[in-house]
A and B are shown apart, each in its own frame.
Chain A
Amino acid sequence: MIFWHPNGWTIYQVLEKYVREILKKNNYLEIKTPQAVDKTLWEKSGHWEKFRDDMFTTASENRTYAIKPMNCPCHIQVFNQGLKSYKDLPFRLAEFGSCHRNEPSGSLHGLMRVRNFTQDDAHIFCTEEQIQAEVSTFIDLVFEVYKSFGFDEIIIKLSTRPKKRVGSEEIWDKSEEALTKALDNKSLKWELQPGEGAFYGPKIEFSLKDCLNRVWQCGTIQVDFSMPIRLDATFVDINNEKKNPVMLHRAILGSFERFIGILIEQYEAKFPIWLAPYQIILLSITDRNNEKCLKFNKLINTQGYRSKVDIRNEKIGYKIREATIARIPLIAVIGDKEEQQDSLALRALDGNNLGIFKVDELFKLMDNLIEKKGRIN
């Protein structure tokens, strides 16, 4: 379990805000479902029978609850509220869903492997005919998001029907074809993993390659013919007949915790300004400059940037060194000369001297850098 401290939590929140904007642009509806969910739902979904030992449970008034290990059954509950028509599809529900899984404490690994994690989770309820278009849009989304972090190399794997499976051959044919076409229409390179699909449908997995050539599987989109039937999700089709929608499980980052772990290693904790817990630090050269420092700091923070000061009675070289170790991307020095000009002397984390900046110019510079996100090109 992770105790997020202020700096780490800032990164988390920036990420969440970014994903939320993307979801909104792509017509997802954000929801929130409970942490503890009645056992009967997990029995119906089949999870209780298979994963009982891997779920945290709790009880109240003779009822047993499972701390949710995943969000999908909950999303079906939301979908099932009220009658849905074919005109409502595709119906996209998103949740930053905090999940708990009681996995053995064997191979612990920081943020990468935890018992409580938050998925950038969403489920798309759609018809079989809509699978391809939804998958196609999702692929673009994955590329856009990964690019924002500077990950340009993405490995795609398509997994097809396993031996043990549900659903007719026809629906497998159809959905495998939909996934294949969605990839091929973009002329993407991908790898086939025959027989590696889940029993409930085929899937595509997206992995990114980091600066050390390590491969991290993060994104996924999975077709599911099974759960909507199990949990009675239906819609009324054009002929006024009740049908089960197909459900697409999808995530881009995978889990926030793990993704932040990957980012820390990728950037060596030198986050781009967009994500950095503090974007700028203001250092006073002498006590005389402290007031000006605090004034600038207030101004910058009120504009929504993340700024802090170091007005300790220390040598400027020492302050710069400490700010560098803390990996703050912009370091501003304020002495008498700068005060006179109502400006600050700016340097980048790598020691590069950026020159003298008025506050307005600083904002412009920061806006540009934030806009760029973590993109390399």
Chain B
Amino acid sequence: MPVITLPDGSQKIFERSVTILEIAQSIGAGLAKATIAGKVNDVLIDATLPIKNDSKVVIITSKDKEGIEIIRHSFAHLIGHAVKQIYPNIKMAIGPVIEDGFYYDIFSEYRFIPEDLIKIEKRINNLIKTNYDIEIFQVTKKEAIKTFQERNETFKLRIIEEIPDQGLINLYKHEEYIDMCRGPHVPNTRHLRHFKLLKLAGSYWRGNSENESLQRIYGTAWAKEKELNDYLTRIKEAEKRDHRKLGKKTFTFPFTRRISRYDFLASKWMDDLPST
């Protein structure tokens, strides 16, 4: 009989194990509809996983910072779902959340062109409109290996190798597509609406140029349409202001072609030894 303590201090007692979604439902149907995930004793958890013990619970919606990050993460999976439908032979590597958005690194013989983004975007739009449930399965390492062997997802298998043997791995089922992730993810694609795929870029497995070349698809996603539009305006404005373009055009400084990375404060120089 878990006792659930909510942020306002109120407590709810449930007969048996309970999910975030059910807790939200007990508060109100509106909240349940908006529920993306939860936080149980400060740890993020999927909305459909059972809570067995007494816990402090926070319900996460798209209004929360964590909520929007989960939305972005789920959109990364949707890239997987969509591109595998269009190009069944490609392999999915990793798809993390980044500032304001997400990306997915993909291994593919076929080279994506910018027009493909429109095609993939369309497919994602068709998928999310069906409002399908995203189901989570917690499996053993052995089972996870079997799943991805069957699907020939060799990069996923490499990731699994690095995971300790004990403990469970979260698999997320998007209809026929399966991805692996620490999670949490949104319980249904109706939470996923306002997104745009932004650009293609090259990358390497594990960021190492000696490894396989991968193709990266960048995207952005937001809770509200207005936020998405504001963001798109902002990056357009930033492009207009790009100092490399402006510098050359108006007055200042072309560069040699290979200028290298220097990130003044984020670089490792800063961490280990003084660098000013």
List the interface of chain A (C-beta within 8 A of B): 1-5, 7-8, 11, 45-47, 50-51, 54, 69-72, 101-115, 117, 119, 121-123, 198-200, 205, 212-214, 217-218, 220, 222, 224, 227, 247, 249-251, 254-255, 258, 260-262, 264-266, 268-269, 277, 325-327
Contacts and interface: CB of A to CB of B under 8 A. Distances in A.
Contact of A117 (B243, B264, B266): B264
A88 B264 CA distance: 31
Interface of B: 234, 237-238, 240-244, 246-247, 249-256, 258-267, 269-276
Contacts of A109: 244, 259, 261
Contacts of B259: 1-2, 108-110, 113-115
Given A3-B255, A72-B276, A222-B274, A325 B265 contact: no
A69 B244 CA distance: 25
When A and B form their complex, which 7 residue pairs have the shortest distance between CB atoms, in order from nearest?
A8-B252, A264-B243, A8-B253, A7-B251, A249-B276, A110-B244, A115-B260
Contacts of B256: 1-3
A212 B238 contact: yes
Contacts of A260: 243
Nearest to A110: B244
Given A3-B253, A117-B264, A255-B264, A111 B247 contact: yes
Contact of A268 (B244, B246, B266, B273): B246
Given A8-B253, A198-B274, A261-B243, A255 B261 contact: no
Nearest to A73: B274
Given A3-B253, A107-B261, A110-B247, A45 B238 contact: no
A227 B274 contact: yes
Contact of A113 (B253, B262, B269, B274): B262
B272 A264 contact: no
A103 B267 contact: yes
A2 B276 contact: no
Nearest to A197: B271
Contact of A224 (B243, B251, B252, B274): B274
Contacts of A47: 273
A264 to B, nearest CB: 4
Contact of A11 (B237, B252, B265): B252
8 contacts: A8-B253, A51-B272, A70-B275, A101-B267, A103-B262, A111-B243, A114-B260, A265-B242
A175 to B, nearest CB: 14
B274 A8 contact: no
B274 A2 contact: no
Given A2-B253, A4-B253, A265-B246, 12 more contacts: A3-B254, A5-B253, A70-B274, A101-B267, A198-B271, A205-B265, A214-B238, A218-B264, A261-B243, A264-B241, A268-B240, A269-B247
Given A8-B251, A101-B262, A104-B260, A265 B241 contact: yes
B260 A105 contact: yes
B269 A104 contact: no
A36 to B, nearest CB: 18
A202 B108 CA distance: 46
B252 A119 contact: no
Nearest to A265: B241
A330 to B, nearest CB: 15
B234 A213 contact: yes
A71 B274 CA distance: 9
Contact of A326 (B234, B251, B263, B275): B251
Nearest to A198: B271
A268 B245 CA distance: 10
B274 A249 contact: yes
Nearest to A69: B269
